[in-house]
Amino acid sequence: MAQATSKKPAARTANAAVAERSAAQSHFRTLRLGTPFQPRIDALAKTQDWYNWAGYRAPHSLWDEELEYFAIRSQAALFDISPMTKYRIEGPDAEALLDRVTLRDVTKLRPGRVHYTAWCDDEGYVLDDGTLFRLSPTRFRLCSQERHLPWLLDSALGFDVTVEEETEAVAGLALQGPTSFAVLRDAGFAGVEKLRIFDLAEFPHDGGTVIISRTGFTGDLGYELFVPADKALSLWDQLMSAGEPRGVRAIGYTALNRARLEAGLIVANADFTTAEHAIRADRPRMPDEIGLGFMIDLEKDHFNGRRAILEARAKRKLRHVLVGLEIEGNIPAEHAIVYHKKSQEIGLVSAAMWSPMAKRNIAIASLARPYGDTVVEDLWVEIYAMRELRYQKLMKRAKVVARPFIKLDRRTANPPADF
Amino acid sequence: MKAWDAIIIGGGHNGLVNACYLQRAGLDVLVVEKNGWVGGAATSRELTPGFLYSNCSYVCSLFRPEIMRDLELPRFGLQVISYEGGAVFTRDGDYLANYRDHDAHRREFARFSKRDAEAYDRYARDVTRQCRFIQPLLMRTAPDPTSLKPRDLGELLYLGKKFAGLSAEEMALTLRFWTMSISEFLDEYFETDVIKANFALSGIIGTALGPMSPGTAYVLLHHYMGEVDGSVGAWGYARGGMGAVTKALAASFRASGGTIRTGAEVDHVLVSRGKAKGVVLAGGEEIHGKLVVSNADVKRTFLKLVEEKELPDIFLRRVKNFKIRGSSGKVNIALDSLPEFPALPKDSPVYRGDMHFTDSMERMERAYDDWKAGRWSTDPFLDMVIPTTLDPTMAPPGKHFMSCFVQYAPPKIAGREWTDADRDGFAESVIAQIAEYSPGFRDRIVHMEVRTPREIEAEVGLTEGNIFQGELTFDQLLFNRPVPGYAQYRSPLGGLYMCGSSTHPGGGVMGAPGRNAAAEILRDLAKSTSHMSPAHDVI
């Protein structure tokens, strides 16, 4: 049966449970938690430029957001992903539950593999996207932006599975960039060269284990590492000292966000509004409306939202489309309005930048169909560039292009190269 | 003899809002108030030296910002300050707090249930959606569904369009929200008792229903649809107590040339040939007016101030059956120091929020059982605030004013009137509950004011002491408030209007009934309403 694992061993008395609960009261004094890596990050935080990531104090930048970006593209960058929401889903029916909840075919996800997936409510609207790690035949980890414990527990009714939220218990690091493989090898993770893209494996670390996957959010060669929170600092130190000769640097979110945009990846509640957070009824999106239609597997068993998605496809009720844009000039078009024939408003740019890797002005935009779908000619964006207290208003031509905006062979090369 | 353009019976917040708008439209307006002060149930008085008491209403959220702006209330001293989230104390020595910070709120709930902690976002989304649906309706006259007048049809169409704009899921939720019990509604989101009790209190406040009674989900919504400066659902303190609201209204009214007579109790409305011609005061003085607007509740207005023979039978019967049952009281306390709660860390923001002691749905429902049996709750539900933690004007430095809203208190004790001994017993149930969580509390009490439905009715004039001038159940809302056919602030008598909380959109210190009534009166007089802002856009 599905159950919330709320740490209540039978032997423990009610008093002990109350004491444990009361002991947690003091959280109100620290509104932004540190992650298990915080002592190291604080020591490197020269800019003191923080933001709130799901209740954690996370860095926008640590020393220089431009140079941090180039660390990702030229050497290796270490980014703390601990605040990401993590669920451990385990049991004989874990595969069946996840196959039911998520869009992709989980029966095809072998142990030791990761896939990028998404899940929908019964109306076919996307609740979130995330990565699903298959740690063993019966054990999974689901990582996401938003929180979904009630959804997962309610979905688990009738399945022999436990669902446990483990965000605080598990620390995560992304090590991304051309030298990331060499850093891991030099840090002593023997066999890491065998990991192909989307593979994961367990490696010994500090008397325990670390799970390393060849995944990431940069479109570059890169890995993600998960350890129990109490082994976090030793992992950080090991990577930093082994990586020092290869230029490993810690980075903040601004640099990562640039890399992810070049990779054409979307961010929940930045590029689309998740269904459980959408106040306005027209804001939720179906997978086909945010470029995630490729995940939908109609061959597999029933999954949440399937009926609604099929109906929307059949009755042509899909109203939006998410596209990559290439925009003339070099002025980023962040949050610009997109027009057809310079006059009809057809959508909004959700993320934009000048891409150093592509040397192009790129953007992700949501458009109202048929624009961006069957009508892709004569598209424009209106950029309001604030320059010394005056808006320079620019109307620039936009072209729908395929994502990712950049494709790096080193991301998938086997064996991975040293740089 | 002078005939005023309009006479307003009662200087409560709605009466004053109504008076302000009429006066600013160029009418010569008189407000007559039976007490020696204005404010009705939104008043603050110094009952013991140095301490200002918000005797009845004590917190502010619903008062419409459009009205504050139209009537220039900030210029006349109105300031509203947001307060912190509060807490429910649990009987096991812990508490469940509501923090303003989203992540702190989640972590706090996670102490009790990780699942429920993550259920809050969906709950907040659904409640917010419903608030957005209702908000634009507050500042509009409810349509008469039986009327074929273009304006009623237009308003019905507006309502219909708004409803049709909802998704199928939202429509279902809306209908459920307006009819189901708060207990069942919360069951759809949460499974932890104390978390449900924490939210359920907004569903029963001021209502003679228990958390398991159908219709209480809407009452919760009614308490969420307010705002403090755009922060929807937030509650605040009026600086200087709730009397600051009516003080500012009275000052605004006088500044625009209006006249207020306090200590002037109306005995009855002067009626001649089916039309109101003025009022007769308790002393026999006649005051003539071209129209009369009653801020009193619908029962008091038509069963006490107007002779039965002047009114149509069906109207009269419906007024008699209008539900305006007393369900609550107040215990207001002056304290010589801030009370301590051993369960609560000394630096907790909860001291600056609202505190409760009812940690289960069953306790809440049991408290209601006492009401049904005609006694005050032995284990009452308290909504307790200490506004002096944020407002320095209400007590000397270091000393505090505490307001306890208490539920349930029946209008009669086992069928008979309240006695002074009953009142003292009622107060003791409150003090005993607080003292259980705050040892030494009794020793801090400097002065105390206890108000059962008897005192509230006697002083403020609210029938049965019902704080909303009629319960906020779906059968008494929109075009059925107060009674079908008379939901547009007019009455069966020519020249007699209603502007109190008995009318749409109902109770709470909102001001919308007073404002909407003024709009209808000015329409009847063919006068401009250009000085009245429409409802702010909900985008």
**Inter-chain CB pairs, A–B, below 8 Å:** 79
Domain-ending residue, one of B209, B229, B249: B229
Are residues B280 and B222 both part of a single domain?
A: no
Nearest to A150 among B119, B169, B349 (CB): B119
The whole-angstrom distance between B378's CA and the closest CA on chain A is 27
Domain-ending residue, one of B451, B480, B515: B451
Are residues B208 and B244 both part of a single domain?
A: no
CB A73 within 8 A of CB A356: yes
**Where does the pLDDT of residue A281 fall: very low under 50, low under 70, confident under 90, or very high at 90 and above?**
confident
Number of domains making up chain B: 3
Are residues B171 and B205 both part of a single domain?
A: yes
CATH of the domain at B435: 3.90.660
Cα–Cα dist A154/A161, whole Å: 12
What Cα–Cα distance (Å) separates residue B431 from each residue in A231, B206, B328, B358, B445? 52, 20, 16, 14, 10
Q: How many residues does chain A have?
A: 419
Contact B114 A18 (CB under 8 A): no
Q: Is B49 within a domain?
A: no
Are residues B10 and B70 both part of a single domain?
A: yes
Strands A379-386 and A391-401 come out as antiparallel
Cα–Cα dist B390/B169, whole Å: 41
Is B333's pLDDT higher than 50? Answer: yes
Are residues B246 and B316 both part of a single domain?
A: yes
What number is the ipTM of this complex? 0.93
What contacts A361, CB < 8 A, 6 or more positions away? A326, A327, A328, A329, A330, A331, A332, A333, A352, A353, A354, A355, A396
User: No. of H helices and E strands in chain A?
Assistant: 10, 20
Contact B129 A153 (CB under 8 A): no
Q: What is the DSSP string of A321-356?
A: EEEEEEESSSS--TTPEEEETTTEEEEEEEEEEEET
Is B12's pLDDT higher than 90? Answer: yes
Domains contained in chain A, CATH given: 3-7+30-84+168-262 (3.30.1360.120), 85-165 (3.30.70.1400), 319-405 (2.40.30.110)
Interface contact A23, partner B, CB < 8 A: no
Is B275's pLDDT higher than 50? Answer: yes
Q: Is B487 within a domain?
A: yes
Residues in chain A within 8 Å Cβ distance of B108: 27-28
Beta strands per DSSP E along B186-258: 227-228, 231-232, 236-238
Contact B107 A27 (CB under 8 A): yes
Q: What is the pLDDT of residues B98-154, one digit of tens each?
A: 999 999 999 999 999 999 999 999 999 999 999 988 888 899 998 888 888 888 888
Residue B153 structural domain: 122-229
Q: Is B303 within a domain?
A: yes
For range A412-416, the mean pLDDT: 97
Are residues B71 and B88 both part of a single domain?
A: no
pLDDT of residue B171: 86
Q: What is the pLDDT of residues B477-500, one digit of tens each?
A: 999 999 999 999 999 999 999 999
pLDDT of residue B408: 96
Cα–Cα dist A206/A208, whole Å: 5
Are residues B438 and B339 both part of a single domain?
A: yes
Nearest Cα residue in chain B from A3: B115
pLDDT of residue B145: 85
pLDDT of residue A163: 98
pLDDT of residue B1: 78
Phi first, then psi, for residue A161 (nearest 5°) are -160, 150
pLDDT of residue A2: 47
Q: What is the pLDDT of residues A349-407, one digit of tens each?
A: 999 999 999 999 999 999 999 999 999 999 999 999 999 999 999 999 999 999 999 99
Interface contact A28, partner B, CB < 8 A: yes
Optimal mutation site among A3, A25, A285, interface B, most CBs of chain B within 10 A: A25
- How would you list the strands of the sheet with B259-261, edge to edge? B259-261, B29-32, B6-9, B292-294, B496-498
Strands B259-261 and B29-32 come out as parallel
Could you give the percent of chain A with pLDDT greater than 90? 96
Nearest to B169 among A14, A22, A123 (CB): A123
Is B322's pLDDT higher than 50? Answer: yes
CB A322 within 8 A of CB A291: yes
Are residues B362 and B342 both part of a single domain?
A: yes
- How would you list the strands of the sheet with A200-205, edge to edge? A200-205, A208-213, A222-228, A170-176, A76-80, A248-250
What Cα–Cα distance (Å) separates residue A103 from each residue in A98, A267, A269, A297, A309? 9, 17, 19, 6, 11
The whole-angstrom distance between A68's CA and the closest CA on chain B is 28
Q: Is B338 within a domain?
A: yes
Interface contact A310, partner B, CB < 8 A: no
Interface contact A279, partner B, CB < 8 A: yes
**For B338-407, what is the HEC assignment?**
CCCCCCCCCCCHHHHCEEECCCCHHHHHHHHHHHHCCCCCCCCEEEEECHHHCCCCCCCCCCEEEEEEEE
Nearest to A281 among B114, B118, B166 (CB): B166
Q: What is the pLDDT of residues B142-195, one digit of tens each?
A: 888 888 888 888 888 888 888 887 778 788 888 888 899 999 999 999 999 999
Q: Is B130 within a domain?
A: yes
Contact B103 A28 (CB under 8 A): no
Nearest Cα residue in chain B from A282: B167
pLDDT of residue A325: 98
pLDDT of residue A12: 59
Are residues B102 and B181 both part of a single domain?
A: no
Q: Is B474 within a domain?
A: yes
Are residues B298 and B356 both part of a single domain?
A: no
The burial class, CB within 10 Å (0-12 / 13-18 / 19+), for B265 is middle
Q: Is B461 within a domain?
A: no
Nearest to A28 among B97, B106, B189 (CB): B97
pLDDT of residue A7: 45
Q: Is B274 within a domain?
A: yes
Q: What is the pLDDT of residues B428-476, one digit of tens each?
A: 999 999 999 999 999 999 999 999 999 999 999 999 999 999 999 999 9
| Amino acid residing at A162 | T
Interface contact B121, partner A, CB < 8 A: yes
The whole-angstrom distance between B112's CA and the closest CA on chain A is 7
Q: What is the pLDDT of residues B218-262, one digit of tens each?
A: 999 999 888 888 888 889 999 999 999 999 999 999 999 999 999
Nearest Cα residue in chain B from A153: B115
Q: How many residues does chain B have?
A: 539
What is the CB-side half-sphere exposure of residue A193 using CA atoms within 13 A? 10
Q: What is the DSSP string of B257-294?
A: T-EEE-S--EEEEEEETTEEEEEEETTS-EEEES-EEE
Are residues B73 and B162 both part of a single domain?
A: no
Is A19's pLDDT higher than 60? Answer: yes
pLDDT of residue B143: 87
Is B349's pLDDT higher than 70? Answer: yes
CATH of the domain at B17: 3.50.50.60
What Cα–Cα distance (Å) separates residue A146 from each residue in A129, A135, B503? 9, 22, 43
Q: What is the DSSP string of A194-234?
A: GPPTTBEEEEEETTEEEEEES--SSSSSEEEEEEEGGGHHH
The burial class, CB within 10 Å (0-12 / 13-18 / 19+), for B129 is buried
Q: What is the pLDDT of residues A110-145, one digit of tens each?
A: 999 999 999 999 999 999 999 999 999 999 999 999
Is A3's pLDDT higher than 60? Answer: no
> Radius of gyration over alpha carbons of chain B, in Å?
22
Interface contact A18, partner B, CB < 8 A: yes
Residues in chain A within 8 Å Cβ distance of B103: 31-32, 52, 54-55
What Cα–Cα distance (Å) separates residue A59 from each residue in A76, A177, A204, A262? 17, 19, 29, 21
Give ∠ CA A22-B211-B127 in degrees, rounded to 5. Answer: 80
Contact B106 A55 (CB under 8 A): yes
For range B30-39, the mean pLDDT: 97
Are residues B295 and B212 both part of a single domain?
A: no
| Amino acid residing at B144 | D
**Where does the pLDDT of residue B214 fall: very low under 50, low under 70, confident under 90, or very high at 90 and above?**
very high
Q: What is the DSSP string of A257-323?
A: HHHHHHTT---BTTTBB-GGG--STT-B--GGGTT-GGG--TTSS--TTHHHHHHHHHTT---EEEE
Nearest to B104 among A31, A146, A281 (CB): A31
Nearest Cα residue in chain B from A150: B115
Could you give the percent of chain B with pLDDT greater than 90? 87
Q: How far, in whole angstroms, is CA B74 from its chain's centroid?
A: 21
